[in-house]
Amino acid sequence: MNSQINDLIFDFKLLTKHKKEIEKYLFIPLRKTELCLEIICAKDCDLLSLDKISTKPLKKLFVPKEDILFFLNDFKEKLKIYKLCFKRLEGFEISQTLLDEFLFSLFSFALTKEASDIHIEAKEKSLIIRLRIDGILQQFFTLPKKFFSILSSVIKLKCKLDITQERLPQNGRLSLEFGARKIDFRISIMPIIDGESIVIRILDNSLDSFYLDNLNILPKELALIKKNIKRNSGLIIVTGPTGSGKTTTLYSIMKELASVSKKIISIEDPIEYKIKNVQQIAVNLELNLSFHEILRNLLRQDPDILMIGEIRDEKSLQIAIQAALTGHLVIATLHTNDASSTISRLYDLKAKPFLISCVLRVIVAQRLVLKLCPNCKKKINGFYKAGACLECNMSGFKGRVILAEVLEIDEHLERLIAREDVSIKDYIKSTDFRPFDELKDELLKKGLCSLEEIYKAINI
């Protein structure tokens, strides 16, 4: 949305009064003065019809039409949230029920938008609410600053946090039911210069995104992943930068493998989603239950499969290798740029080359790429570009694709790894392994993503 609109606080009474005309003529009333009615409208709107909506002269602020459409999308639901805020501020109702209804409406709105996070931030003169959808933050509401302390207090109360504490970070959780769905929310509150920043992670256990088949991984690479996670032992590494979807892939693998006939244990910091038939252990530094402490004692639990959130250092890599050598399947993440550089990273962590060659089975290096909205994408000069429509909140994108390099370790590569051979990368290029640059061509042929977004993801 245009920054001019983002900074404005709208009068819900005017929005309610002109509800029918707003949706018909595509404008937004801003404020009413003794001299005029201030409105926001697009340059190509019906100016003659607009002049009839008020007996007072109109003062017009022109913005792109896309900004008006973004604001008016889901107008009924947005209007309800505005109304609940202003009713509380104007003292019509001071009951807890009103605040509960505001939070429930806000969370419901975020769920309908398939948001992963809600950002509530105090600004110098306002409170803004943004939603992260497909990795992109979009601002949906600007409310009066004085509502922030009320909203912050009710969130802290629901999470059993200290409502008087505004100078230190606080973390909490809460659960709410939306029909048949029970949704968990993880709350992080951080002091900032203008007050506080509240970030709410939405953890929807009912989502079907945690299935390998739903991750939009290309068929050849998906088949290799499925083949290797069925092994009885060895080390599988999922790698990529922060925000590349590694956690989603790990949860999808856990869900694929979960069975009463296998003991699966995961170490997580924190546990975000509960997976049936998986024993999930949360790191808790307050109780001295560190990552290394859990990892050191894990093999005594007689697991079949270990899911390690992240190989963090030499010690955690040694334990992971030891577990893989003793007949366990170990699945872990690592931070590297691509599949072939993962081998060098394992050398850097002081793992013995012959041990790496014994346990390493497959490396999945991945990126998340925004998927073009099928409703508004357009083809220009042979390439698909992002459009803008209400289906995608005027962003041009709907969902994301996991672009995954999958390097399977064959016998010859094992020997090269064992002797730390300098020709490892040359050999990988000679196989049917497909690097990111080759994978991008298939995404472009399918018209799933734009070239700009693919390069943006690959070059993180």
Span 48-64, average pLDDT? 86
The predicted pLDDT at position 216 comes to 86
Tens digits of per-residue pLDDT, 339-360? 999 999 999 999 999 999 999 9
Identify the burial level of 327 via C-beta atoms within 10 angstroms of its C-beta, where 0-12 means exposed, 13-18 middle and 19 or more buried: exposed
Task: Check whether 276 has a pLDDT greater than 90.
Answer: no
Higher pLDDT, 242 or 104: 104
Q: What topology is assigned to 1-73 in CATH?
A: GMP Synthetase; Chain A, domain 3 (3.30.300)
Higher pLDDT, 287 or 119: 119
Task: Check whether 256 has a pLDDT greater than 70.
Answer: yes
The tokens describing 345, both together, are 């990273």
The predicted pLDDT at position 2 comes to 47
Neighbours of 315 (CB within 10 A): 15
Domain ranges of the chain: 1-73, 80-142+152-204, 212-458
CATH architecture classification, 212-458? 3-Layer(aba) Sandwich (3.40)
Average pLDDT of the chain to the nearest whole number? 90
Q: Residue 327: phi, psi to the nearest 5?
A: 95, 20
Q: Which residues make beta-bridge pairs with 279? A: 265
Query: For the ranges 114-118, 194-198, 255-259, 426-430, which has the lowest average pLDDT?
Result: 255-259
In our burial notation (b when 16+ CB lie closer than 10 A, e otherwise), range 126-154 reads: bbbbbbbbbeeebbbbbbebebbebbbeb
Instruction: In whole angstroms, give the CA distance from residue 329 to residue 319.
Output: 13
CATH number of 80-142+152-204: 3.30.450.90
The answer to pTM > 0.85 is yes
Span 382-391, average pLDDT? 92
CA distances from 90 to 16, 83, 101, 146 (A): 16, 10, 16, 11
The tokens describing 234, both together, are 């060895």
The predicted pLDDT at position 51 comes to 82
